[in-house]
Amino acid sequence: MSALRKPESAESVLTVEGLTSGYDAAPVVRDVSFSIAAGEILVILGKNGMGKSTLLKTIMGFVRASSGKVHLAGENITNRPPHLIAQHSVAYTPQEYAIFQDLTVEENLRLGVENDKLLKERLEDVEAAFPRIVERLRQGAGTLSGGEQKMLLLSRALIARPQIMLIDEISEGLQPTMIARMAEVLQATKEKNGVAILLVEQNLPFALSVADRYAILKIGEIVERGDVAHADTAATLEEHLRI
């Protein structure tokens, strides 16, 4: 399959150019390049240990890039501290359950906005996506089920109303009905709000149900990329993920 690329243009929300990063002297991500436009979902697929999470952490500033650049809406944000990158309307949902267990659901959501006024105004965003989360605002976040904690993680990203979302393995460990709901929420976020979404996944059916384009990461390098709508995409991806 030909290597399809989104044109590098002013409409690209996120552009990654030749990005290399890792831990100590060991590179994990190697010369990775791609771009995402507003209202587009790009999924990064690959087995465990291929560098997918490290790629997101490098974009978000948690892992330092040794070479390459990350541009957000044309501005170079390479190796900026994570809190400054977040201020550029970037929402990051890590693979780990990164919620504050001792805080309430509402207090966790409050971390996604600048003040209490915005929290109240934007709770409707959360209610439209996950009514169950709004019903549990006073509940301790640590008492939520695993699926509810994933809903809270994504709700905290949604309430920030970002221009781009970086989402790592949101479907992991979820029941099929919850995965389907996650897919609906991501599609609605993309289509209604024009949010760009970079999605790291291993769940192929889920990825294919939401993404516009895909890239396969193997040992830190993109080895295949293309449009999800292509007729042989599913077979190509299954072969790569099986090897």
Spell out the domains of the chain, with CATH numbers in brackets. 1-89+162-243 (3.40.50.300), 95-161 (no CATH)
Residue-level pLDDT at 77? 97
Show Cβ contacts of residue 219 under 8 Å, excluding neighbours closer than 6 positions.
30, 50, 51
Residue-level pLDDT at 98? 78
| Rounded CA separation 115/156 (Å) | 14
Question: By the 8 A CB rule, do 150 and 25 touch?
Answer: no
Smallest Cα–Cα separation from 233: which of 219, 210, 220, 214?
A: 214
Take residue 177 and report the two structure tokens written for it.
Answer: 């009905």
| Rounded CA separation 120/77 (Å) | 31
Residue-level pLDDT at 167? 96
Our CA angle for 11, 180, 130, nearest 5°, is: 80
- Three-state SS string over 50-94 comes to CCHHHHHHHHHCCCCEEEEEEEECCEECCCCCHHHHHCCCEEEEC
Residue-level pLDDT at 8? 42
- One pLDDT digit (tens) per residue for the chain, 243 residues: 333 444 344 479 999 999 999 998 789 999 999 999 999 999 999 988 999 999 999 999 999 999 999 999 999 999 999 999 999 999 999 877 678 999 999 999 999 998 999 999 999 999 999 999 999 999 999 999 989 999 999 999 999 999 999 999 999 989 999 999 999 999 999 999 899 999 999 899 999 999 999 999 999 999 999 999 876 787 878 877 775
Instruction: Say which amino acid occupies 224.
Output: E
Residue-level pLDDT at 9? 43
Let me know how long the chain is.
Answer: 243
| Rounded CA separation 229/62 (Å) | 33
Residue-level pLDDT at 69? 97
Residue-level pLDDT at 10? 43
Residue-level pLDDT at 1? 34
Q: Rounded to two decimals, what is the model's pTM?
A: 0.90
| Rounded CA separation 170/211 (Å) | 14
Strands 26-37, 196-201: parallel, antiparallel or unpaired by DSSP?
Answer: unpaired
Residue-level pLDDT at 175? 93
Smallest Cα–Cα separation from 80: which of 92, 91, 64, 66?
A: 64
Take residue 181 and report the two structure tokens written for it.
Answer: 């709901």
Residue-level pLDDT at 243? 57
Q: Describe the crossing of helices 116-129 and 146-158 by its angle, rounded to 10 degrees.
A: 120
Take residue 105 and report the two structure tokens written for it.
Answer: 């659901």
Burial (Cβ within 10 Å: 0-12, 13-18, ≥19) of residue 241: middle
Residue-level pLDDT at 11? 76
